[in-house]
Amino acid sequence: MGLAARGRLLQTGYNTCLLAMSRGKVRALVLAGDLAANSLDKMTHAARANGVPVRIFATMAELSKITGKENAGIFGITDPNLARAIIEEIDTHSI
Angle, helices 14-22 vs 37-49, to 10°: value is: 10
Angle at 81 between CA 77 and CA 4, to 5 degrees: 40
- Whether the pTM exceeds 0.85: the reply is yes
What confidence tier does 94 reach under pLDDT thresholds 50, 70, 90? low
- Beta strands of the chain (E only): which ranges? 10-12, 28-31, 54-56, 74-77
Domain carrying residue 38: 2-94
CA 18 vs. chain centroid, Å, equals 11
CATH of the domain at 73: 3.30.1330.30
The tally of domains found in the chain comes to 1
The predicted-structure confidence for 2-56, as pLDDT tens digits, reads as follows 888 888 899 999 999 999 999 999 999 999 999 999 999 999 999 999 999 999 9
Interior CA angle at 5 toward 73 and 92, to 5°?
70
